[in-house]
Structure 1
């Protein structure tokens, strides 16, 4: 039985608990210190409750993570059904990125097995509904998987860079300045001509622009696939 199928225990005195309060406390802890900061003991302490009381609501910490993930999917779910399939997939990608920037731990939970909570399923339904009838179901599924693979990877890379900046105390510009002499020496060997061209001739863009550009390219590829006649 999944955590979604298990009835919520009745509230008990003196300090009533419910899943909503527990999940909110867990999300707050994760926002402060990442998933490693979340344990049933720490969540219970945040709620001034005994740790054993939380086991009436969850069998494992992973079930708590499932509920936290679904809570954030409520932020990803668009308020209105997007107008067409391309807008639907673009909205999904951008709203997921925005949620991950608010809750960096989200990047650690994306890309695994399908999330089965009500908000997660609603996000999936909204996305698939925008593509319904435009191609066979297998093509639709591959399109959604392709776009998801792109934005999940891009989000994880962006969050990893943000964490690196905090852990080292070096901004991207500071890191580039400190590593510049080494990179210059390596490029001067002539062993990396393509990389040399990228370093000296390429345009450095911010994370949001890079994300949006890559997403547009992926959506262009999906559009071309959807336009192909059915076999």
Structure 2
């Protein structure tokens, strides 16, 4: 049975419901990542016996589904998007913002479709903005293309943030520490394209890079929605 269709057990002396369980799980994941989430730790945080949780959630997979759907509620726009481009841009930026608040989300992006109530609402909001502009398959490919871009970009950004915490050095500090080695390698003349990128390229922050790449992907989607090339 789907976790959202499973009835909740009756209340006991200590009130408990899926909402409280999921909130505790999200808090644990925010503090220590997905590895920090277990039914035992959730039960301890809620001051209940671990066995009580099995009446609400039978597997960790169910728990993760509920956690993702909880965060999908943060991704859902407050107002309907004005057009398809705004809908896809909002989906990308709001997913990135949610992942920066809940870094564990990056580990669960790109898997199975989000089938909880909030996840379905996000999909409905996004696809409705494309309704009538293209056939269903083209609309689905457009959403998948944008999702593939922001999923990869978000995972890379979160990986860099985790590396900074693990090493105690920022990205710029790490780059400076590798500077002498890179300078020697580029001086060999074996990497002319890379040398030009290093010396002439403009280095931008993660937010700017994300927004620029997203605009390029949306431009490509717009060209496809306009019709096949002649």
Q: Which runs of 4+ in 1 moved over 4 A?
A: none
CA distance in 2, matches of 1:54, 1:188: 61
TM-superposed CA distance for 1:11, in Å, is: 1.3
- What's the CA shift string for 1:169-221, capped at 9, x where partnerless? 00011101101111111111211111111101100000000000000000000
CA distance in 2, matches of 1:53, 1:187: 61
Q: How many residues align?
A: 230
CA distance in 2, matches of 1:114, 1:131: 18
Counterpart for residue 52 of structure 2: 53
Matched position secondary structure for 2:129: helix
TM-superposed CA distance for 1:229, in Å, is: 5.6
Structure 1, unaligned runs of 5 or more: none
CA distance in 1, matches of 2:79, 2:22: 26
Counterpart for residue 27 of structure 2: 28
TM-superposed CA distance for 1:230, in Å, is: 10
Counterpart for residue 19 of structure 1: 18
Structure 2, unaligned runs of 5 or more: none
Query: Once superposed, what is the RMSD of the aligned Cα atoms?
Result: 1.2
Matched position secondary structure for 2:107: helix
CA distance in 1, matches of 2:168, 2:228: 53
Matched position secondary structure for 1:53: helix
CA distance in 1, matches of 2:194, 2:9: 59
**What is the 5 A alignment of 1:1-231?**
1-13=1-13, 15-228=14-227
CA distance in 1, matches of 2:9, 2:144: 36
- What's the CA shift string for 1:115-158, capped at 9, x where partnerless? 11000000000000000010010000000000000001000000
